[in-house]
């Protein structure tokens, strides 16, 4: 798939089939995600891969947006490792995590899988249920799996600004 087609093919999957993801396919996606750049190349992103029934159940307790996925990647950062400005006002945490997430989503599409970027989750509950240490900050959930046969993109998928409306040529 060429890159533009890949970008068009990706959409937020909100209904998954219960087909499990073969390990080698999931690994491919994880390797692609891990190739994303991070601030100062600090590589602070940590991925919790919820695959067991118990882990999926916990993920469902933390977010209403698991959508029946056979796996949920909880994308986290290690706050002690990510870039922080010396005045402590800025951090690369969510940016590093999102760049990894973007590559995970596109690689998943390329490999026949669907994903949904999910911000609607309870961070405190996630830390508690998954026993995350203080330095590990969950940034977003990424349910991943095969879209169910009747899954279609939401109407919002087709709405984008025109490029000329969001750009200023200087």
Ligand X SMILES: Cc1cc2nc3c(=O)[nH]c(=O)nc-3n(C[C@H](O)[C@H](O)[C@H](O)COP(=O)(O)O)c2cc1C
Per the DSSP assignment, residues forming a β-bridge with 141 are 74, 118
Site residues for ligand X, 13-52, by CB under 6 A, read 14
Sign of the CA dihedral with 9 first, then 14, 18, and 24 last = positive
Distances in Å between the Cα of 111 and the Cα atoms of 22, 32, 39, 103 are 11, 11, 27, 12
d(CA 42, CA 38): 6
Whether the Cβ atoms of residue 60 and residue 45 lie closer than 8 Å to each other: no
Q: Should residue 123 be labelled a site residue for ligand X when binding is judged by CB under 6 A?
A: no
Among 12, 92, 109, 126, binds ligand X (CB under 6 A): 12
Of residues 20 and 154, the one with the C-beta less far from ligand X: 154
Selected range binding ligand X among 25-33, 40-48, 70-78, 154-162, rule: CB under 6 A = 154-162
Among 1, 7, 35, 119, binds ligand X (CB under 6 A): 119
Q: Should residue 116 be labelled a site residue for ligand X when binding is judged by CB under 6 A?
A: yes
Residues of this chain that bind ligand X (CB under 6 A): 11-12, 14, 65, 116-120, 153-154, 156-157
């Amino acid at each position: 798939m060429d890159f533009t087609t890949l970008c068009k093919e990706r959409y937020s999957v909100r209904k998954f089939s219960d087909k499990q993801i073969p390990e080698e396919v999931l690994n491919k996606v994880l390797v692609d995600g891990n190739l994303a750049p991070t601030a100062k190349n600090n590589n602070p992103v940590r991925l919790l891969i919820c695959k067991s029934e118990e882990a999926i159940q916990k993920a469902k307790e933390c977010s209403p947006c698991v959508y029946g996925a056979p796996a949920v990647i909880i994308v986290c950062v290690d706050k002690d490792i990510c870039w922080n400005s010396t005045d402590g006002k800025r951090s690369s945490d969510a940016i590093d995590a999102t760049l990894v997430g973007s590559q995970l989503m596109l690689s998943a599409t390329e490999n026949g899988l669907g994903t949904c970027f999910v911000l609607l989750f309870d961070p405190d509950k996630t830390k508690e249920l998954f026993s995350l240490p203080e330095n590990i900050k969950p940034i977003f959930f990424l349910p991943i799996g095969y879209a169910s046969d009747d899954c279609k993109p939401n109407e919002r998928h087709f709405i984008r600004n025109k490029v000329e409306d969001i750009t200023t040529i200087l």
